[in-house]
Amino acid sequence: MEKTFDVIIIGGGQSGLATAYFMRRTKLDYLVLDDQNEAGGAWQHGWDSLKLFSPAEHSSLPGWLMPKSDNEYPGREHVINYLKLYEDRYNVPIERPVKVQNVTKEDGIFTLATNKDVYRCKALISATGSWQKPFVPDYPDFKLFKGTSIHSARYKNAEALEGKKVLIVGGGNSGAQILAEVSKVANTTWVTLNESKLLPDEVDGRYLFEFATKQYKAKLEGRTIQPAGSLGDVVMVDTVKEARDRNVLKSKRPFKAFYEDGVIWADGSKQEFDSVIWCTGFKPALDHLKGLGLSNHEKPKAQSTKSIDIEGLWFVGYGSWTGYASATLIGVGRTARQTAQEVAEYFTT
């Protein structure tokens, strides 16, 4: 069975929904394909105690503010529920679970081979995010390590770590929030590339995003302004503040290798660990596009979100190379709007 559309959006998480919101304003026949069983995107797989680092009203997709939660910084369940309601509110045409396995293009038409049907479209928007491509640095002798190893993408809670010696690798908000939780039940060591920057208590994601907008406008005007912080800095949500009060927000510089029972530090000393949690980020999940022969598959060439290699292809929500803060709830709206406009223009030329 084959289905043909003007536009297909691959990915039904926050980026796909934001793009679909703006596609509603066009007269194009579009569809969202999502490989998840339910609405909520990657938020369904976050750790149990995950918190946003902006209040609800500053963590919203285009058109509808996220309802306030009981806490200043909403948890993952609140976000998942918002995304479900957002999808229903705007009657997003979505099919799930549909996993796109390969995309090819011939005679101006994209063909999407999936685990179900074959879909065809004239324009394609990839909005699959990065959750499915967790990144783990290549440390020497990692294969020798006999303990457990898990990326933050698979971490759920600290239950199984009680009484263990746990190494947490990676700074930023994921590293700090997971450290705060695990350190309550385990003996933890935190490793970051550089000394983690803890933002002042009054500075959170809303200030960072507002400053980024001012910085962007200043750049267009040929001016520069000094940053108040970056999205990689640690926002002091309540759990992280509590960890600071326990004096556990202290990090060490990277070790040089693993051995069977733990790691070897730069000075040659060894330290035993039962478990390692990698909070080391993600890469764009673009395996489904390998059939298109992109020149740089890990980070394809793009002008904003528009592919330079393949006409009729756009990328939304993959971070800085597709728009500043485009991997955030509030940040993706700007590039989603631009993408929808460009797609509409594509059909008029």
pLDDT digits (tens, 9 = 90+) for 18-61: 999 999 999 899 999 999 999 999 999 999 999 887 888 888 99
Q: How far is CA 326 from CA 45, 56, 237, 330, in A?
A: 20, 17, 22, 8
Amino acid letter for position 62 = P
What are the two backbone dihedrals, phi and then psi, of residue 317, each rounded to the nearest 5 degrees?
A: 90, 25
Cα–Cα distance for residue pair 136/190, rounded to 1 Å: 16
Cα–Cα distance for residue pair 134/74, rounded to 1 Å: 24
Predicted confidence at residue 62, as pLDDT, reads 95
Cβ atoms 98, 35 nearer than 8 A: yes
215-228 pLDDT, tens digit each: 666 666 777 766 55
Evaluate the CA torsion angle 292, 296, 300, 302 in order and state its sign: negative
42 secondary structure, DSSP code: G
- Number of Cβ within 10 Å of residue 299's Cβ equals 15
262-273 burial: b if 16+ Cβ within 10 Å, else e: bbbbeeeeeeeb
Cα–Cα distance for residue pair 86/92, rounded to 1 Å: 9
Predicted confidence at residue 333, as pLDDT, reads 92
Residue 97: asked if its preceding bond is cis (omega within 30°), the reply is yes
Pairing of strands 109-114, 100-106: antiparallel
Cβ atoms 316, 15 nearer than 8 A: yes
Indicate yes or no: pTM above 0.95: no
Cα–Cα distance for residue pair 68/51, rounded to 1 Å: 13
152-206 pLDDT, tens digit each: 999 999 999 999 999 999 988 899 999 999 999 999 999 999 888 887 877 766 6
What are the two backbone dihedrals, phi and then psi, of residue 275, each rounded to the nearest 5 degrees?
A: -145, 150
Region for 294 from its dihedrals, namely left if φ exceeds 0, alpha if ψ lies in -120 to 50, beta otherwise: beta
Contacts of 321 (CB under 8 A, 6+ apart): 299, 302
Confidence of residue 299 (pLDDT cuts 50, 70, 90): confident
The helices-and-strands tally (H runs, E runs) of the chain is 6, 17
85-132 pLDDT, tens digit each: 999 999 999 999 999 999 999 999 999 999 999 999 999 999 999 999
- The dihedral formed by the CA atoms of 116, 95, 43 and 85, expressed in degrees to the nearest 10: -160
